[in-house]
Structures are given as C-alpha cells and as structure tokens.
Amino acid sequence: MNFGKAESPAPAAYVANSWLATASADFRISVRPRNLLYLRFEYRGIRMRCSVCGSTEFRSHDVLWEQLISDWQLAPDEVKYVNDQQGKSCNTCKANLRSIALADAIRSYFRTSLTLEEMNSETIFGEAEILEINEAGSLTTFLKSAPRYHFGAYPALDMHAIPYATGSLDLLVHSDTLEHIENPVHALQECHRVLKPSGALAFTVPIIVGRLSRNRSGLPRSYHGNASSMPDDFMVHTEFGADAWTYAMQAGFSYLELHSVGYPAGIAMLARKRAEA
C-alpha cells in the first residue's frame, strides 16, 4: 500500500514537543522516567506489513457509530484514524492496526524480528510465563501456543486484584481493556506487581493523540458497543490522550516503549519492570 512520502524524522531532542505531529510513519519512542528529557527515537519509515503473519495486503471498513463519535467529541480526522485503528486489518490473519502494533511490542520484548506466526515454530516463547487478559484480537491464536500461556477474561479477572503471585509472570498482555477500569493506575500497579524483575506489560488503549486523557466521571455513560446490552463493566471510564504513557510510569514501570503502525492509528506500549539491583 502507498501512503505517500514520509517526512524526515525530527531530531531526538525535539521529539518531546513534536511527535504528535510527525507523519504517519512507524516509529518507536522509548522513555526513561528518571530522565524525561532523554527519548530514543527509532524511525522506520512508512511500511505496512503485518507483524503477526507477514502479509502486506490490507482492507478497511468503518467501525465507529454516530453516538460514540458524539460522546467522545471526535473531529473528522480523529474519526478517520480511529476507524483505521480498529477497522483496517490484514487480509490474511485479520489483525487490525491496533493488534499489529501490539504484536510489535511483544516482538520487542522477545527481541526478535520474526512475525508472531514464525515465533510459534521457532520456540521463541521458551519458558516465559505469559498472561493474556481478554483476547487481544487475532493475537490470541499465536500467544496460546506458548508453553506457559495463561488466560483470564475481564471482568471475571479483577484487574484490581490479579490472581497471580507477586513476581510470577514474564509478560502480561491486554488490549483496549484499561479504559473500562475505574482506576487505571491501580490496575497497572497490579500488572507491575505480578511481573518478574525485567518483566514487561504489552498493552493498548484507544488514544486520541491531539488531546490529554480525561476521566468520564460526570459525563453521559459511554460504551464500546450497544449501550442497551452492555454491562457496567464495559462502560468507558477513561478517554486516553497523548499522556496515556504517563499512567504506566505512575504505576511504577521503569522503561516504556511506544510502538506505532500507521500513526496515529495503531499505538501500543511496552512497559518494563526494573531489574533487581
């Protein structure tokens, strides 16, 4: 697919103020919390290759509806990239851009350039203890082949009290779940607690990049689906914006990567727990 010519990346020192306006290229920003002026910017140029299965063929359809657009006060350009985030998908494995960005975060944790499909046949997962909370789209098919894969469905799994021992997991994965949690920082603290030293959390939340996050307390109830048939557990508590990454830092993570596919449509985070001294 041809998405036009990419602009040159900004110098690293300028990224802190400019990354929201960068062209729709795939890039990664890494943040060290003790030195917030240090950002590692990896520019990859524009590409559209599925990191789940390797396909380069995609299709698109709109997923937003008028009520949600109104509830979230989305501008036309925001409607377009949110539709791309959820509705542009790989022809072969059906992963959308959100899931592909999440796959990139998982691949980064395992330090591999293989697709998730290839990782299955190469035993890359090894003995890593992996917990997936809710199905991360089409990624579940590949994750569950890991020898030490665990699954928990929200809301049966309480993200304020994750039923795993402290320091027991290597990798925790969840996708577009945190916005439904009343206290997202506390839920992220629970994710941090159950991870081993140097373990990581790979996750996505719907992000509107041109604004800051807001709590929907006091606003009309909003759901990702038919409000008449959705339980309160799926009500949206937080609309995440450009500061979404700070929630992981508040929860105690020491290092964060942002993975983008078709920016600003697909954005995933990989938050790492500090290694023991």
* Residues 130-139 pLDDT 10s: 999 999 989 9
Per CATH, which fold does 12-272 belong to?
Answer: Rossmann fold (3.40.50)
Tell me what pLDDT residue 259 has: 96
Annotated domain spans of the chain: 12-272
- Whole-model pTM: value is 0.81
- Residue 108: C-alpha distances to residues 119, 186, 210, 265 (Å): 12, 25, 26, 19
Residues 28-63, buried b or exposed e (16+ Cβ, 10 A)?
A: bbbbebeeeeebebeeeebebbbbbbebeebeeeee
**Which of 39, 3, 46, 4 shows the shortest CA–CA distance to 19?**
39
76-87 vs 97-109: helix crossing angle, rounded to 10: 60
**Which of 219, 221, 246 shows the shortest CA–CA distance to 236?**
221
Pick the range with the lowest mean pLDDT from 6-15, 125-134, 142-151, 256-265: 6-15
Q: How large is the average pLDDT for residues 87-93?
A: 95
Strand partners, 260: 267
Tell me what pLDDT residue 158 has: 95
User: Which of the two residues, 64 and 10, has the higher pLDDT score?
Assistant: 64
User: Which of the two residues, 179 and 10, has the higher pLDDT score?
Assistant: 179
Give yes or no for residue 13 having a pLDDT over 90.
no
Confidence of residue 30 (pLDDT cuts 50, 70, 90): low
Give yes or no for residue 203 having a pLDDT over 60.
yes
